[in-house]
């Protein structure tokens, strides 16, 4: 399960971001995961719960924003969904696309610090 190594990297990077911002903990981490990134969101959630244990993210929740795979057809100026398995032929002009617009993302988009203890 490569999601565990991805979750571990998310925990490490989010922890570094929180420390750089002066936060002691993290309440949530939001990541964008593309449809073609090869990451199973449910497995990533499970792996995140394992990876966060004993860290500044111990109580943090993971928010996964799924990004659909989209391609661009230069012939007819049409953006279209690739689907799964991905099909790179334009549904409008029936020509192959050479440009992937989205779907390979795997990135942290926000780290929400935990409220400071009172």
Query: What are the pLDDT digits (tens) for 77-91?
Result: 999 999 888 888 899
The pLDDT value given to residue 61: 97
Q: Could you tell me which residues come within 8 angstroms of residue 85 by beta carbon, excluding any fewer than 6 positions away?
A: none
The pLDDT value given to residue 35: 94
The pLDDT value given to residue 113: 92
The pLDDT value given to residue 118: 64
Instruction: Name the CA radius of gyration of the chain, rounded.
Output: 18
Q: Is the torsion defined by CA of 30, 36, 41, 44 positive or negative?
A: negative
| 23, 59 Cβ separation under 8 angstroms | no
Q: Rounded distance, CA 94 to CA 73, Å?
A: 10
The pLDDT value given to residue 115: 83
Which stretches in the chain have pLDDT values below 50? none
The pLDDT value given to residue 86: 84
Q: What is the pTM for the complete model shown?
A: 0.86
Q: Rounded distance, CA 55 to CA 34, Å?
A: 27
């Amino acid at each position: 399960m490569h999601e565990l190594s991805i979750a571990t990297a998310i925990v490490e990077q989010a922890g570094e971001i929180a420390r750089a911002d002066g936060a002691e903990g993290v309440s949530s981490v939001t990541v964008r995961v593309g449809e073609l990134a090869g990451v199973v969101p449910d497995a990533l959630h499970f792996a995140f719960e394992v990876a966060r244990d004993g860290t500044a993210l111990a109580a943090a929740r993971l928010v996964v924003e799924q990004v659909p795979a989209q391609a661009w057809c230069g012939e007819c100026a049409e953006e279209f969904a690739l689907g799964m398995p991905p099909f790179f032929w334009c549904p409008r002009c029936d020509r192959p696309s050479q440009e992937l617009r989205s779907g390979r993302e795997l990135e942290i988009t926000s780290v929400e610090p935990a409220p400071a203890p009172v």
